[in-house]
């Protein structure tokens, strides 16, 4: 669901103000959706498309080149819809709400004080200040007061969105707009910002102690006077303005040090100038007029008014020729995109059809790699033992048996070996035992080595079988897909086609944006030609009637957006020469009931017999 909100919807907007839209999509990935919307807008020829995804409420901003309208689209900005409803209710409660808000916003715009992106207050914050002032002056009642409360839950937080439009004051102030405007500037120029917080929810200012929003250091003046290349960040809550629904949100959090000082100085300047009798034009003298040059609607026919009909006709024909050429280019790009899409899809199909074989193939390759490492490790250990133990195991066992017999046989008392010889025999026996253990270990490693090598050979045979099966399956699939003839089928190649599709899609968006502009230009030229022809026709009719007819309409200057929409929408429709006959509501009612009045019958028509 797409909903309007903001000043344009509440009725507190200036001419040429931004247009705010909220797209409500449950459980949406906001950043992903905004990125997609941005791409669509660029494809439709919108200008200055910006996706601001890191803001508290991510938005996409763009400018409609036809109307010059600045538009912001946000996703699931539900609380803003309730804020708009509250401001709209205040605007309906008393006409002075809208009048004062428009005056203050006009002043803030021309004095460069309503640009939250560049460190001053937002248009919404100025509206809240206007309502706060009117509450204090007894012009409107607090529409958020009342016993019955409406609480909603958004993003795991609860918000009191109570609005009671029927709330009214027992005695309403009759102060006129000029006095309200003067007191607005005086009030906020002399306000004790250090100790109070603006809170229209409460109906009057609240103390900083009750809210817990302290005037934090460093101050704006400290920041501006800081000589460091990167001065510290300014403290919070200097011009504290509580949001009426999201009460943890301070609307001045976007204000920077230079912006705060400028706001204070401009409020004081306006109050002093009011007191000195300056004109409203002088008070609202524009700061940096270049900044507002695009606000005034431009005559869309300004460059055609001094051209002849033939010149404009030639311009139209040239534009249509460019459209035809661009249309052919777009068709060619679309054909190329579809071709690459089919190729990528066909390759994916082959890869998916042979995925089971690929998995088996991959599993075998992984097994071969792991087994190779194990074989190398076993071979290394076996060869190390064989290099240390030179004798084969059977010789070690024979020698071990002989030495053991000599050490354990009965001694001849006449031939007793010396102690040295006995030690040598025992030492040799122990060494033979150690060699025997190592030789057995080498034998076991060798058996395991043989077993693994045998298993490796069997797996290699399987690998060749799977490769043959995969090649056969791929060949059969390729026979069914002539597109893939002589093509390498792998994921890398698929990715290459995907990238081509993506690049072509970008080119298509750009070309379609160009086509959108050309169509608008053709519509503009055609509208001017029809408008000129209509004026010429009216003049000729007047001349034929000798001046008795209606006077020709004078050129009214710039066309309105409604005129443009009417002209462009009627480009492809044939104009009807029949005049619509107006019927009174009474007669229309009689027709619905059936005509019961006396009347003559229908006159018959004579037809010549054939």
Per-residue pLDDT at 478 = 53
Cβ proximity of 297 and 558 under 8 Å: yes
**Cα(3)–Cα(77) distance, integer angstroms:** 10
Beta bridge partners of 20: 5, 72
Q: Which residue from 29, 18, 143, 32 is spatially nearest to 91, judged by alpha carbons?
A: 143
Answer positive or negative: Cα dihedral of 166, 154, 156, 198: negative
Q: Per-domain residue ranges for the chain?
A: 82-292, 299-396+441-538
Q: In the CATH hierarchy, which fold is given to the domain comprising 299-396+441-538?
A: Helix Hairpins (1.10.287)
pTM to 2 decimal places? 0.55
Q: Which residue from 502, 476, 508 is spatially nearest to 489, judged by alpha carbons?
A: 476
Mapped onto helix, strand or coil, the DSSP state of residue 156 is coil
Maximal C-alpha separation, the chain: 170
**Cα(27)–Cα(413) distance, integer angstroms:** 103
**Cα(73)–Cα(49) distance, integer angstroms:** 11
| Residue 587 CB contacts under 8 Å (≥ 6 apart), including other chains | none
What does the pLDDT look like over 463-487, one tens digit per residue?
A: 676 666 656 655 655 555 555 555 6
| Residue 255 CB contacts under 8 Å (≥ 6 apart), including other chains | 119, 120, 121, 238, 239, 263
Q: Which residue has the tokens 């920041």?
A: 223
Stretches in the chain below the pLDDT threshold 70: 16, 66-67, 293-299, 347, 349-366, 411-414, 416, 463, 465-490, 536-610
Exposed, middle or buried, 83 (CB in 10 Å: 0-12/13-18/19+)? buried
**Cα(162)–Cα(145) distance, integer angstroms:** 8
Q: Which DSSP state fits 143?
A: T
Per-residue pLDDT at 357 = 52
Beta bridge partners of 60: 51, 73
Query: Beta-strand (E) ranges in 205-277?
Result: 206-207
Q: Which CATH number fits domain 82-292: 3.40.50.920, 1.10.1410.10, 3.30.70.260, 3.30.413.10?
A: 1.10.1410.10
What does the pLDDT look like over 337-384, one tens digit per residue?
A: 888 887 777 767 666 655 555 566 666 666 777 788 888 888 898 888
**Cα(400)–Cα(411) distance, integer angstroms:** 19
Cβ proximity of 205 and 196 under 8 Å: yes
Annotate 35-102 with DSSP letters as a single string: HHHHHHHHHTT-EEEEEE-SSSS-EEEEEETTTTEEEEEEES-HHHHHHHHHHHHHHHH-HHHHHHHH
Neighbour tally for 533: CB within 10 Å: 11
């Amino acid at each position: 669901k797409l909903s309007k909100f903001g000043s344009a919807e509440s009725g507190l907007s200036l001419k040429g103000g931004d247009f705010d839209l909220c797209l409500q999509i449950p459980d949406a990935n906001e950043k992903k959706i905004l990125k997609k919307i941005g791409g669509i807008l660029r494809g439709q020829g919108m200008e200055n498309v910006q996706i601001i995804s890191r803001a508290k409420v991510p938005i996409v901003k763009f400018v409609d080149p036809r109307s010059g309208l600045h538009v912001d689209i946000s996703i699931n900005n539900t609380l803003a819809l309730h804020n708009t409803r509250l401001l709209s209710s205040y605007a309906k409660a008393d006409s002075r709400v809208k009048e004062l808000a428009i005056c203050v916003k006009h002043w803030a715009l021309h004095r460069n004080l309503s640009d939250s992106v560049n460190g001053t207050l937002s248009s919404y914050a100025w509206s809240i200040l206007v309502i706060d002032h009117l509450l204090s002056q007894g012009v409107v009642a607090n529409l958020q007061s009342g016993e019955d409360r409406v609480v909603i839950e958004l993003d795991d937080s609860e918000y009191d969105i109570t609005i009671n439009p029927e709330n009214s004051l027992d005695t309403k102030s009759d102060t006129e707009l000029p006095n309200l405007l003067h007191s607005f500037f005086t009030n906020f120029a002399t306000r004790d910002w250090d100790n109070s917080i603006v809170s229209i929810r409460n109906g009057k200012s609240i103390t900083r102690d009750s809210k817990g929003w302290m005037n934090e250091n460093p101050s704006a003046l400290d920041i501006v006077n800081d000589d460091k290349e990167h001065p510290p960040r300014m403290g919070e809550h200097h011009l504290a303005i509580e949001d009426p629904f999201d009460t943890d949100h301070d609307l001045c959090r976007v204000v920077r040090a230079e912006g705060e000082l400028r706001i204070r100085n401009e409020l004081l300047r306006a109050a002093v100038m009011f007191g000195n009798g300056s004109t409203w034009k002088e008070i609202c003298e524009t700061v940096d007029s270049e900044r507002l040059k695009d606000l005034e609607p431009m005559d869309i026919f300004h460059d055609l008014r001094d051209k002849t009909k033939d010149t404009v006709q030639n311009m139209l024909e040239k534009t249509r020729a460019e459209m035809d050429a661009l249309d052919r280019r777009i068709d060619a790009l679309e054909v190329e995109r579809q071709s690459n899409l089919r190729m990528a899809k066909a390759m994916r199909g082959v890869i998916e059809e042979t995925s089971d074989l690929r998995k088996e193939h991959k599993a075998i390759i992984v097994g071969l790699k792991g087994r190779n490492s194990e074989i190398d490790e076993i071979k290394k250990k076996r060869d190390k033992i064989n290099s240390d133990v030179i004798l084969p195991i059977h010789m070690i066992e024979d020698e071990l048996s002989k030495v053991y017999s000599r050490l354990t046989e009965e001694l001849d008392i006449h031939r007793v070996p010396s102690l040295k010889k006995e030690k040598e025999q025992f030492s040799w026996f122990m060494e033979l035992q150690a060699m025997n253990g190592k030789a057995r270990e080498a034998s076991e490693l060798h058996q395991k080595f043989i077993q693994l090598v045998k298993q490796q050979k069997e797996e290699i045979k399987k690998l060749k079988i799977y490769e043959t099966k995969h090649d056969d399956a791929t060949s059969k699939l390729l026979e069914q897909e002539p597109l893939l003839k002589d093509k390498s089928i792998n994921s890398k190649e698929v990715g290459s086609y995907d990238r081509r599709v993506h690049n072509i899609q970008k080119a298509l968006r750009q070309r379609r944006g160009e086509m959108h502009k050309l169509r608008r230009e053709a519509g503009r030229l055609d509208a001017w030609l029809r408008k000129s022809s209509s004026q010429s026709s009216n003049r000729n009719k007047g001349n034929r009637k000798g001046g008795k007819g209606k006077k020709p309409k004078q050129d009214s200057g710039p066309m309105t957006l409604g005129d443009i929409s009417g002209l462009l929408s009627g480009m492809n429709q044939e104009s009807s020469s029949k005049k619509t006959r107006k019927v009174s509501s009474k007669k229309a009612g009689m027709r619905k009931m059936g005509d019961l009045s006396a009347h003559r019958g229908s006159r018959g028509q004579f037809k010549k017999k054939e």
